[in-house]
Amino acid sequence: MKILVVDDDLHIQRLYKEEFEEEGYEVVIASNGKEAIELFDSEVPDIVTLDILLPDVDGIRLLRQMKEKRPKVPIIMSTAYDYRDDFAVWASEAYIVKSSDLDELKATIKKMLTKE
């Protein structure tokens, strides 16, 4: 299983990568929206974790673009602040506020992938 992690924070990239790999996933990292779409196309990830605040484009647009390409790929929004109530169209499968405790995130990923 391949996870695409989209986040511009280098430390978080590394933390996620190490943690997810320990769980047995393959991890690809994108630091911005452009990379994210490229990797989404080339690597064909099974699941995506997506931050909202990115340097080039906001995560919501990215989410829409990815859903247009392959609607079935589960996407987990992972942000520093809870905007869940504010979105008119909420197309992601899950929304998780970032935390140093990755248990919830890992559990959600597992749940999403086994659903399929």
Partner 1 sequence: MDIAYKQKIAEIIFENIRDGIIMLDRNSKILAVNSAIEKWTEKPVSDLIDKDCTDVFHDITGICPHCAAKVTFETGEVNIVMQKGNHKDIAYYAELSAYPIKGDTGELTGCVVFIQDVTERMLCHEEILGLYTEVTQTKEYLEGFIENSADAIITSDQDGIITSWNKGAERIYGFTKEDAIGKFLPFVPDFLIDPEYEMAHRVIDGEVLKEIETMRKMKDGTIITVSLTLSPIKDAAGKVIGISCISRDISKKKRVEKELIRRNQELSRLFFISSAMRGTLELDRLLRMVLTAVTMGDGLGFNRAILFLFDEKEKILKGAVGVGPASPEEAWQIWERLSLEKKTLSDIMRDIEIGPLRKDSFFDRLSRGMEIPLSEETILTKTAKEKKPFNIQDVKKEPLSDTVLIQQLGTHAYAVSPLISRDKVIGVLWVDNHFNRRHITDEDMRFLSGFSNHITTAIESARLFEQVALAEQELENIFESISDMVCFITKDYVIKSINKAVSKRLGKPHDEIIGKKCYEVFHGMSSPWTKCPHHETVETKKAYVEEVEDHYLGGTFITSSSPIFGTTGEFIGTVHVIRDITELKNLQERLIMTERMAALGEVAARVAHEIRNPLVSVGGFARRLEKKLDGNLKEYADIIAREVERLEGILNEILGFVKETRFVKEIVNPNRLIEEVISLIKSEVDERGIVIVKEIEEPTEIYVDPNRIKEALLNILSNAVQAMGNNGTLFVKTYVKDNAAVFEIKDTGMGIAGEDLPFIFDPFFTTKKTGTGLGLTITHRIIEGHKGSIEVESKPGAGSIFRVFIPLNNIMDEK
Question: Which residues are near partner 1 by CB under 8 A?
Answer: 9, 11-12, 15, 18-19, 52-53, 58, 60-61, 80-83, 85-89, 97-102
Give all strands of the β-sheet with 2-6 in edge-to-edge order.
Answer: 26-30, 2-6, 47-50, 75-79, 94-97
Q: CB-based contacts of 19: which residues, under 8 Å, 6+ apart?
A: 102, 106
Our CB check for partner 1 shows the closer of 98 and 110 to be: 98
Least separation in angstroms between residue 2's CB and partner 1 is 21
Do 65 and 48 touch, CB atoms closer than 8 A? no
Least separation in angstroms between residue 42's CB and partner 1 is 26
Residue with tokens 């790929």: 73
Our CB check for partner 1 shows the closer of 7 and 46 to be: 7
Our CB check for partner 1 shows the closer of 42 and 101 to be: 101
Least separation in angstroms between residue 11's CB and partner 1 is 4
Residue with tokens 């890992």: 106
